[in-house]
Amino acid sequence: MRKQRGRKEEPERKERGNREEGMRKQRRRNEETQRGKNEETERKERGNREEGMRKQRGRKEETERKE
């Protein structure tokens, strides 16, 4: 009796497909997480810049009052 190749290869092909699909989903999740981190960092940096400008303006006003 001859072995039927198709039946044996079928589960391997399914497993490979499932593995590839899992990797695609994981990559998408990682990209979304990274995007969220980038947005959060950008928000913090913008806040720091604004705070620095406020402090600088306060120092400038303070030196003008002394003069």
Q: Summarize pLDDT for 15-42 with one digit per residue, the tens.
A: 999 999 999 999 999 999 999 999 999 9
User: CA 21, CA 55: separation in Å to the nearest integer?
Assistant: 51
Confidence category of residue 5, pLDDT binned at 50, 70, 90: low
- Residues 36-60 have pLDDT tens digits of 999 999 999 999 999 999 999 999 8
Residue 10: pLDDT band (50, 70, 90) is confident
CA distance 42 to 31: 16
CA gap 59, 57 in Å, rounded: 5
pLDDT for 64 equals 82
Q: Distances in Å between the alpha carbon of 55 and those of 18, 49, 52, 59, 60?
A: 55, 10, 5, 6, 9
Q: What does the alpha-carbon distance between residue 48 and residue 52 come to, in Å, rounded to a whole number?
A: 6
